[in-house]
């Protein structure tokens, strides 16, 4: 796949960003897209946070890959997040690989890609960077911040540190901290990348290499966790690739093997290996409990935000029990919160597929909140 970075919308933020690791970025780039039109009173802005493998191209055509946007099903004209009604913003996170400052970008001091010289970042760093983007767009308060998976983590973090900058929040299929199991999955992925000789200690861009095998395996391991056992069984079962039966080799005999290989190697064409390391590490470090001395409710103590927490019954990466902990914390401070657990066989990726109950829930919550927000202003 040939990538074209010529048409990326990129904003240079000429303000200092102090990262959680203690390093300061004197300025940084943030690549972003907007969809729809901001209304006169600036009451219709929705900030969408993307997940690990996502980017700013939430809908329409991805200007870099030429493929469909990752949330075309949800965002667009006459869709649940209706761009005829709402002004939708989505930015590539810092540390990402679609134009925002990250390990594949050129370090001005050395003239070479940052590689592992890029500082380790956190979810909080990502969110603070995007708050500068809202400032640039002249948006003091959004109608909503929302996202699934890592996008949901960003939504929670945003509400914690900017309680006055959004009217509502929709954290989807996420948790307030990463579990030991999730950290283990991410470490498996990182080790697969770093074990690839083509990774070259993170300097593969400068040396003209691509750690294809390592990144593909990392993606395959991650992709398994995005699906449910029942979903995999229903889709593939033990179906073979060939009608001839078993081939008695180590090629892909089973359809599920072929599917995973396709997911892995197609991912390599559009994603940067070092970005995968940095973003998964940021997810592992995310812990709203620790930030608030073990008391999650303190993360939202000053919040007047309306919340809609959404989980999926077969999501074992971020199970419903994790969403319930967030709901309990919000209830304990008297926050206005609704909670919906969607029964489905689609696992963690349910928010990315045609899941009617999810789409209805999201549309209903945003539409009713929009009327309330307009009346408030």
- Active-site annotation, residues: 149, 315, 348
Cβ-count burial of 86 within 10 angstroms (0-12 exposed, 13-18 middle, 19+ buried)? Answer: buried
Closest of 370, 304, 356, 353 to residue 88, by C-alpha: 370
- In this structure, the dihedral spanned by the alpha carbons of residues 155, 157, 161 and 162, taken in order and rounded to 10 degrees, is 0
Q: Could you give the CA distance from residue 38 to residue 331 in angstroms, rounded to a whole number?
A: 33
Closest of 226, 250, 253 to residue 240, by C-alpha: 253
């Amino acid at each position: 796949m040939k990538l074209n970075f010529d048409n990326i919308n990129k904003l240079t933020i000429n303000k200092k960003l102090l990262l959680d690791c203690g390093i300061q970025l004197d300025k940084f780039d943030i690549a972003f897209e907007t969809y729809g039109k901001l209304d006169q009173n600036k009451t219709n802005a929705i900030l969408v946070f993307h997940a690990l493998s996502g980017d700013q191209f939430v809908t329409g055509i991805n200007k870099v890959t030429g493929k469909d946007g990752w949330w075309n099903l949800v965002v667009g004209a006459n869709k649940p997040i209706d761009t005829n009604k709402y002004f939708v913003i989505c930015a590539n996170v810092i540390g990402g690989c679609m134009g925002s400052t990250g390990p594949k970008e050129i370090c001005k001091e050395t003239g070479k890609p940052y590689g592992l010289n890029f500082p380790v970042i956190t979810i909080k760093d990502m969110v603070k960077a995007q708050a500068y983007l809202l400032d640039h767009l002249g948006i003091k308060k959004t109608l909503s911040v929302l996202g699934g998976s890592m996008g949901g983590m960003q939504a929670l973090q945003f509400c914690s540190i900017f309680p006055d900058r959004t009217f509502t929040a929709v954290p989807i299929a996420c948790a307030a901290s990463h579990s030991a199991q999730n950290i283990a999955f991410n470490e498996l992925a990182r080790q697969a990348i770093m074990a690839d000789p083509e990774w070259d200690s993170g300097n593969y861009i400068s040396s003209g290499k691509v750690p294809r095998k390592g990144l593909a395996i990392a993606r395959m391991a991650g992709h398994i966790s995005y699906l449910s056992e029942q979903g995999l069984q229903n889709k593939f079962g033990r179906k073979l690739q060939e009608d001839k039966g078993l081939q008695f080799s180590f090629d892909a005999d089973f359809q599920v093997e072929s599917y995973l290989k396709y997911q892995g190697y197609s991912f390599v064409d559009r994603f940067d290996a070092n970005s995968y390391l940095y973003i998964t590490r940021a997810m592992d470090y995310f812990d709203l409990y620790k930030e608030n001395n073990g008391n999650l409710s303190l993360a939202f103590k000053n919040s007047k935000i309306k919340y809609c927490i959404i989980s999926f019954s077969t999501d074992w990466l971020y199970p419903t029990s994790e969403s319930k902990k967030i709901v309990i914390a919000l209830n304990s401070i008297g926050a206005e919160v609704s909670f919906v657990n969607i029964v489905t066989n689609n696992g963690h990726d349910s928010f990315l597929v045609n899941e009617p109950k999810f789409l209805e829930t999201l549309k209903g919550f945003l539409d009713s909140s929009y009327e309330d927000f307009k009346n408030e202003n």
